[in-house]
Amino acid sequence: MEVHHLVHPHTLTASLSKPKVMALGYFDGVHRGHTEVIEKARQTAEDRGLPLAVMTFHPHPKVVLSKQTEEDMFYLTPLQEKQRVLESLGVKELYIVRFDQNFAALDPQAFVDAYIIDLGVKHAVAGFDFSYGKFGRGTMETLPYHSRDVFTFSTVSPYTEDGEKVSSTWIRRMVEEGEMVKAAHLLGRWYTFEGTVVEGEKRGRTIGFPTANIQSEEPYLLPNDGVYAVRALIDGRWYRGMCNIGYKPTFHDERDGPPEIEVHLFEFSGDIYGKTVRIEWRDRLRGEVKFPSLDALVSQLHEDKRSAEQVLQQEIRD
């Protein structure tokens, strides 16, 4: 997948750009509603013999429009994760537009001229609620006027579940509440997190439950504190396990800094410090608890492992 990073004003022109079909949207989560848009674009691209492209924006528009700091934004799919998912969907070209004050100030016609026509788009696809240009004044209803008859377009209706539109906001709420099965259903895949194994307190190995402490530079939205059944991908192989997110109240009285992510793998032994680990959140087993003794904690961990094994009993995928 070719990745193009654009900052306004960019220098691409229609004469220099290859013809393409493009899906447009922010696509945080790349959920089932988003994949409807991308699938419509893919089908059109195949029918016309053109490559499939996607345009997304970074950072989240709230950073500019609501004055929210970039450090306070957390994503279902941080940029690298979004790229990985889009490539898995068969996207050939990805345009990542820097959403800054200059870009946000574009009037709708200027956006269409610079970011659709000048990129060689022959057919554009977006969701019914896609908006563009300053204050979002451009909509799918105004796109026929702004297209200058240079390209055609398709509008995709909302994807609903139980009568409610599937949205990133809904999925965020499910993740924050630890409802990982529901979140996965709305996403169309398991919610994931990727990070690097770092040094921890090494307390787990002394009680029979060694853990890998995982940190990520990417701003993932994390599930609610607690213990989860998970699968972990290490060096191309999946392992079953359980993961604690939180502050380990049995050992620490204060909740300083971000929560820690500790994974205990069931069928693994070895040194994985510095390795990249991808976590699939499967189900929340319980909340985080302050135990009265170490023995009480260990007893609960054995119960957690039995519960996680029941959740994960289906398989290990290599």
Same domain, yes or no: 7 and 154: yes
**Does residue 99 sit within a domain?**
yes
Same domain, yes or no: 200 and 97: no
The reported pLDDT for the residue numbered 88 is 96
The reported pLDDT for the residue numbered 189 is 97
Distances (CA, A) of 80 to 100, 139, 141, 223, 264: 19, 28, 32, 19, 25
Nearest Cα neighbor of 127 from 39, 50, 200, 206 is: 39
Same domain, yes or no: 156 and 212: no
Nearest Cα neighbor of 126 from 244, 21, 199, 49 is: 21
Cα 204–205–211 angle (5° rounding)?
A: 55
The enclosing domain of 157 has a CATH number of 3.40.50.620
The reported pLDDT for the residue numbered 258 is 85
Domain span at residue 306 reads 190-311
**Does residue 49 sit within a domain?**
yes
Same domain, yes or no: 11 and 137: yes
Nearest Cα neighbor of 56 from 38, 70, 33 is: 38
| Tokens read off for 183 | 């979140």
**Does residue 185 sit within a domain?**
no
Distances (CA, A) of 203 to 52, 150, 210, 261, 297: 50, 64, 8, 14, 12
**Does residue 239 sit within a domain?**
yes
**Does residue 175 sit within a domain?**
no
Asked if the bond preceding 61 is cis, omega within 30° of 0, the reply is no
Q: CA 83, CA 80: separation in Å to the nearest integer? A: 5
Same domain, yes or no: 294 and 199: yes
| Tokens read off for 314 | 């289906």
Q: CA 56, CA 120: separation in Å to the nearest integer? A: 16
Q: What pTM was estimated for this model as a whole? A: 0.92
Same domain, yes or no: 20 and 149: yes
Same domain, yes or no: 157 and 207: no
Same domain, yes or no: 223 and 112: no
Q: Are 279 and 263 in contact (CB under 8 A)?
A: yes
| Residue 152: count of CB within 10 angstroms of its CB | 16
Domain stops at, among 122, 148, 165: 165
The reported pLDDT for the residue numbered 67 is 75
Q: CA 151, CA 132: separation in Å to the nearest integer? A: 16
Same domain, yes or no: 299 and 201: yes
- Residue 148 gets the label, from left (phi > 0), alpha (psi -120 to 50) or beta, of left
Same domain, yes or no: 208 and 84: no
Domain stops at, among 165, 198, 233: 165
Q: Are 178 and 224 in contact (CB under 8 A)?
A: yes
Ranges in the chain, pLDDT < 50? 316-318
Q: Count structural domains, the chain.
A: 2
**Does residue 56 sit within a domain?**
yes
The reported pLDDT for the residue numbered 317 is 45
**Does residue 178 sit within a domain?**
no
The reported pLDDT for the residue numbered 72 is 84
The enclosing domain of 268 has a CATH number of 2.40.30.30
Same domain, yes or no: 96 and 237: no
Same domain, yes or no: 237 and 103: no
Nearest Cα neighbor of 250 from 265, 262, 268, 266 is: 262
